[in-house]
Amino acid sequence: MENLKKIAQKMVADGKGILAADESTPTCSNRFKSVGVESTEESRNNYRSLLFSTKNLNKYISGVILFQETFNQKQKSTNQTIPDYLKNNNILSGIKLDTGAKILANHSPEKITEGLDGLREKIIEYRSKGASFAKWRAVITIGKDIPTPTCISANCHALARYASLCQENGLVPIVEPEVLMNGEHTAEKCQKISNDTLKTLFHQLELFKVDLEAIILKPNMILPGDKSNQKISNKDIAKLTFDVLYKNVPPTVPGIAFLSGGQSSDNATKRLNELNKLYNNHKPWSLTFSYGRALQEDALKEWANKNEKKAQDALIYRAEKNHFASLGEI
């Protein structure tokens, strides 16, 4: 377990964050379609190889979360496996282990994340191929009469089982309980649901004897729904977010790496910066980033325009910005 604790610390070292490049094939295909690029195994490999070969990426990125397809591909420039290439550039490799969210029986439209069957064997396989950490995402939707306690409990139970299996078999688990931004709810409603979710999650982690010094929490920020008309400042978002985390996340957790969750690239950075600027002297854990679209969006557009250098420049620009935001120095 001591080695896992060291890996967790490395993942959230000061000024470093995690690049989420684990979009499933359908999600990646939708993003490619939005910029006019055909999604094939080859084109996805080309794009991600370009991202990973960005100069100085390891100054700001400690690890990359990979989708199963990418994990088993080779880096275009060197013909090494992608995990080996990242390792040689001092970047840790992680693997998305869940198999997606499906309708929770008798609770439609709520969802439960699946993938526990055969998970121990998958963890052992990916660790042998070079993984240092893993990710599992649960989704909690706010709407009329939802989420139910059943949905929160079932998803937190699955997250805890996953985390326990990861630690048992040598991977640091990223635990991602995402309260979705979709909806008309207020930020205060998001805070209440996030509070209930985190409280349930850490109770389940305790039941499954998960060592909190060897996990990374990947939560949402506290935000109004994307269809809400609520006006709220970044300072208030930071306050609501910090309050719910401080109340529920034990200080033994080494780091909290926020998901961007539909925020614009600029907003995700500004709000992370505000959190660190306001609470730098009060936070017991590192507050950093684990962004997908908020790091990649500009780079994807440039790559689609066949400008590889501009694509890499766009990625490193966003990575550097979030580096400073995780220090509260913007």
**Tell me: the pLDDT tens digits for 135-157?**
999 999 999 999 999 999 999 99
Listed in sequence order, the DSSP H helices in 53-117 are 68-71, 82-88
For position 79, what pLDDT does the model report? 85
For position 171, what pLDDT does the model report? 98
Burial class (CB in 10 A: 0-12, 13-18, 19+), 208: middle
Domain boundaries, the chain: 2-325
Cα–Cα distance measured from residue 161 to residue 97, given in angstroms and rounded to the nearest whole number: 12
2-325: CATH topology is TIM Barrel (3.20.20)
Query: Does residue 218 have an active-site annotation?
Result: yes
The answer to whether 257 and 288 have CB atoms below 8 angstroms apart is: yes
Q: Which residue is catalytic, options 218, 270, 283, 321?
A: 218
Q: Which residue is catalytic, options 10, 23, 135, 176?
A: 176
pLDDT digits (tens, 9 = 90+) for 48-100: 999 999 999 999 999 999 999 999 999 998 989 999 999 999 999 999 999 99
Q: In percent, how much of the chain has pLDDT > 70?
A: 100
Neighbouring CB atoms inside 10 A of 147's CB total 23
Query: Does residue 188 have an active-site annotation?
Result: no
CA dihedral 238, 243, 245, 249 (to 10 degrees): 150
